[in-house]
């Protein structure tokens, strides 16, 4: 009988009842070294799979410049997201190129992720920020809707379906999916509602917040083949390095913020100041930037969920000048889109400066932010677009402020008008 005490060939740990060793032909290895070897090999797989995206990770300034092409204003939100994406890339590159290779390598600082919460009124660009980031990042990116999520066991999608979509975005590569990004929209709809009037459970509110806790913080989730595109076998996903960004309009949070700041008449009795009807006009554009975690708790989010999102970014309302810039400046500006539609018919579409300002003012009155611009343009140009295919000899269409206000019509310029204008100009030059 061989009573020789063996030791691990890697770390030197001696064999004991609490430290079993796996025997090889000429050596032994302990459980800790097996786990470390698995970690190193996994990092090699990530490094091979992520060679393309990590060749030239964009810098924060470059990411913001790309966002500026599509999004007007919201400078603080764009800077925060640019830094978050850059840090995500940087952590990705460091972990892939220099994994932990020994048990004594404890002096390295491990960088944790900082999940982000975007909040602000409807139509301020939260979803557009996320969808634009999807074009920039080289890691898998998924946009999910919180309104479709329910607790496990109820009709609807559970939170694990988000990871299944992320795995599909990574083409089934688990190592790449574990470095991805997830944006969950309409998270304010998960606010705690309690028991409803019919006594039914709030299966799409607080229960979903609790289900998202471990997923957002970092855990290992086993995904089944259900819902997967390829119908493959179950996969184990580690969410510790997945960056989560959530956003919502948080309608009603403004009253909570004003109450904390003692704004508006909240007194009781004869000395109470009546609330003004023009509160919308006097709205503080930076109000949402002063949101505290306690304000979100009063809104209906549970403290555990709020603590998982240390970075809170408040988006401000868009004023008339910002809406005018949104109409004309972005790469896919609405004015450019409609000009392209008219160009298909061989007609140039023009807007006066006063008309653009009137369109922005109408969108503000509707209270839907930048989304209201398209509805205003649709109602304004519906009649011209209906007539245009049947008209002949039209060269341009000019939209003035009278047409926007409904006291006039758009101006059509035909080939005859332009010819007469050239003839009059020639006569004026000859007379001079």
Binding residues: 8, 11, 30, 33
Q: How far is CA 260 from CA 118, 267, 295, 428, in A?
A: 20, 13, 8, 69
Q: Is the dihedral of CA 285, 288, 291, 295 positive or negative?
A: positive
- Residues forming the annotated binding site for Zn(2+)? 8, 11, 30, 33
Q: How many CB atoms lie within 10 A of CB 20?
A: 11
β-bridge mates for residue 182, sequence order: 142, 244
> Is the Cβ–Cβ distance between 410 and 401 less than 8 Å?
no
57 CB burial (10 A radius; 0-12, 13-18, 19+): middle
State phi, psi for 91 to the nearest 5 degrees.
Answer: -60, -35
**Which residues have CB under 8 Å from 122's CB, separation 6+?**
249, 251, 368, 369, 371
What does the radius of gyration of the chain's CA atoms come to, in whole angstroms?
29
Q: Which residues of 419-431 are buried (b: 16+ CB within 10 A; e: fewer)?
A: eeeeeeeeeeeee
**Which residues have CB under 8 Å from 171's CB, separation 6+?**
none
State phi, psi for 177 to the nearest 5 degrees.
Answer: -65, -30
Q: How far is CA 211 from CA 130, 215, 216, 300, in A?
A: 23, 7, 9, 16
CA distance 401 to 407: 9
State phi, psi for 184 to the nearest 5 degrees.
Answer: -110, 115
State phi, psi for 327 to the nearest 5 degrees.
Answer: -65, -30
């Amino acid at each position: 009988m061989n009573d020789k005490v063996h030791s691990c060939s890697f770390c030197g740990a001696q064999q004991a009842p609490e430290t079993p060793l796996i025997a090889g032909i000429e050596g032994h290895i302990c459980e800790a070294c097996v786990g470390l070897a698995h970690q190193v090999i996994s990092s090699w797989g990530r490094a091979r799979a992520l060679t393309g995206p990590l060749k030239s990770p964009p810098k924060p300034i470059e990411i913001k410049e790309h966002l500026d092409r599509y999004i007007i204003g919201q400078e603080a939100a764009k800077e925060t997201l640019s830094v978050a994406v850059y840090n995500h890339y940087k952590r990705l590159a460091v972990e892939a190129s220099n994994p932990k290779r020994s048990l004594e390598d404890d002096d390295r600082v491990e960088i944790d992720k900082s999940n982000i919460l975007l909040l602000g009124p409807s139509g301020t660009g939260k979803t557009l920020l996320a969808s634009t980031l999807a074009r920039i990042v080289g890691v898998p990116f998924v946009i999910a809707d919180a309104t479709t999520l329910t607790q496990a066991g109820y009709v609807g999608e559970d939170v694990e379906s988000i990871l299944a979509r992320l795995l599909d975005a990574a083409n089934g590569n688990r190592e790449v999916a574990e470095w991805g990004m997830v944006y969950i929209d309409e998270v304010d709809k998960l606010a705690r509602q309690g028991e409803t009037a019919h006594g039914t459970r709030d299966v799409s509110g607080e229960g979903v917040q609790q289900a998202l806790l471990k997923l957002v913080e970092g855990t290992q989730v086993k995904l089944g083949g259900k819902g997967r595109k390829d119908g493959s076998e179950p996969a184990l996903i580690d969410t510790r390095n997945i960056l989560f960004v959530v956003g919502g309009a948080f309608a009603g949070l403004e009253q909570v913020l004003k109450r904390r700041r003692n704004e508006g008449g909240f007194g009781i009795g004869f000395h109470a100041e009546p609330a003004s009807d023009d509160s919308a006009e006097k709205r503080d554009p930076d109000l949402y930037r002063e949101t505290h975690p306690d304000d979100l708790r009063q809104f209906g989010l549970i403290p555990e969920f709020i603590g998982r999102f240390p970075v809170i970014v408040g988006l401000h309302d868009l004023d008339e000048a910002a809406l005018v810039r949104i109409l004309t400046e972005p790469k896919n500006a609405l004015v450019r889109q409609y000009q392209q539609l008219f160009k298909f018919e061989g007609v140039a579409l023009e807007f006066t400066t006063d008309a653009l300002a009137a369109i922005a003012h109408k969108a503000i009155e509707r209270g839907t932010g930048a989304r209201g611009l398209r509805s205003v343009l649709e109602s304004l140009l519906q009649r011209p677009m209906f007539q245009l295919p049947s008209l002949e000899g039209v060269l341009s269409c000019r939209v003035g402020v009278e047409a926007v206000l409904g006291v006039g019509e758009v101006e059509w310029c035909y080939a005859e008008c332009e010819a007469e204008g050239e003839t009059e100009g020639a006569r004026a030059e000859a007379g001079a």
